[in-house]
Structure 1
Amino acid sequence: MWFLTVGDGSTSSDDYDSKKRKQRAGGEPWGAKKPRHDLPPYRVHLTPYTVDSPICDFLELQRRYRSLLVPSDFLSVHLSWLSAFPLSQPFSLHHPSRIQVSSEKEAAPDAGAEPITADSDPAYSSKVLLLSSPGLEELYRCCMLFVDDMAEPRETPEHPLKQIKFLLGRKEEEAVLVGGEWSPSLDGLDPQADPQVLVRTAIRCAQAQTGIDLSGCTKWWRFAEFQYLQPGPPRRLQTVVVYLPDVWTIMPTLEEWEALCQQKAAEAAPPTQEAQG
């Protein structure tokens, strides 16, 4: 059984009138609310370190990036990109270089597995940064909604990180750079005297891990050089050089890309009845 109780409304009416009188006395409009906390003023925070420092040791990395997990055998890193891309000649994103990752159904190399050779030497390793970028014009259009034709529909701007990416491998549960250890028999005998030795290492490992042939790249910028001191005895110094090749020079043309897509589609198509018979 349901009961409906009806009151005279005197108490609620008095509360309503008293609240209204208080707000009118304070000069506030009805229903207006004050923010509980004042918004903090906008501030520009400067970094407590120089951004053009070419060398960082263990303590410097921990001071700069407090949440970065630095390996215990890390010794130092030389930021070669400061000399490769000075302020007078900065890195340019004019050239598009789209890298498409194959689907799970297609057979693809294991980007996390390093090619193993009989004489692999961990004293030197070579890694590559494979840049995937739409080009400067497309970047302006997607991220800044910069279009020549104002009649073109304007979409929601995207963050640049959604357009500028790097191809990485996966080793267990970690993302790793593409590359591997130096092989004297395949790459050359002296990485210190011949700078092309570690470039050959990068080309060989990238071909085995991703299927991308980087031998056609015309420029190999040294981006960074990491040094690790392995515990002994004997204690060994390991050097890992990270390169940034100009992958946009080996991008296929539109005709070559369409022919490659047709070839992939033909290979993935199921066999016909005549072929099965």
Structure 2
Amino acid sequence: MALAFNRRGRRSVANGAFILACTLATALALVFLVAILASLLVNGVGGINLDVFTMSTPATGSRGGLLNGIVGSLAMCAIAMVLAIVIGILAGTWLAEFARDSTYGKVVRFTNDVLLSAPSILVGLFIYWLLVRPFHGFSGIAGAVALALLAAPVVTRTTEDVLKLQSRQLRESGVALGAPVWTAIRAIMWRAAAGGIITGGLLAFARISGETAPLLFTALNNQLFSLDMTKPIANLPSIIFNYALSAYDDSRRLAWVGALLITIAVLGANVIVRAFARERKRP
């Protein structure tokens, strides 16, 4: 009895110590998160005004805003997401419905997982050698391709996972009615997995919206407002990077505002993802 009591006592102490360690780690993470959000709000909210959304980045000491950076970031993210969604959905569908456990499928799956964790600066350097150096100039297209290369693995992995979760009867029902396999996948499987695929797209957008390193190698920046994707184009991450190092208060204030806008976009995407996930769990 005493031995059993001692064992239970040791297990209780170990369990309590583990729970305490997890609680402290969570609290520490929350402290840092709150500190980051508080610094963004304190330094960024005061700089938000109409000029931020109606004027381009200014010269030193001049009046200006972030319009060119906002538009440039949205344009590159839009092109990147179109490329990532098309490639990711098709690749994820192939892995889930056709490749499955084949050797080639395992190689593609492993490569996709490597890309998921690849440093973004390496992706930017790769696109620099592929699309910037040969054409002797930075461009918004190169920036969008770099972002797409970061987003596509997220969409691919999510698409594969949600398609594998669908019941076997769904796959068989369309084929049993005489529909071709591709029609059954498009009309039945994609529709059943639409919520998960959309969630993957939103996660991919959150992944790329604040990336700076690949854009420094590809899109660079542009002090003026431009929609020409074949030339260097302004973007919020590059503006934040340059203005945060400035010695002028006005430039640093714009950097804080840009960081706050990106944070709001990422948090908004994550909130939407949570909402979709909650809707999927409802019976």
TM-score higher than 0.5? no
Q: How does the TM-score come out when normalised to structure 1?
A: 0.23
Q: Which has the higher contact order (CA 8 A, sep 6+)?
A: 2
More helix by share: 2
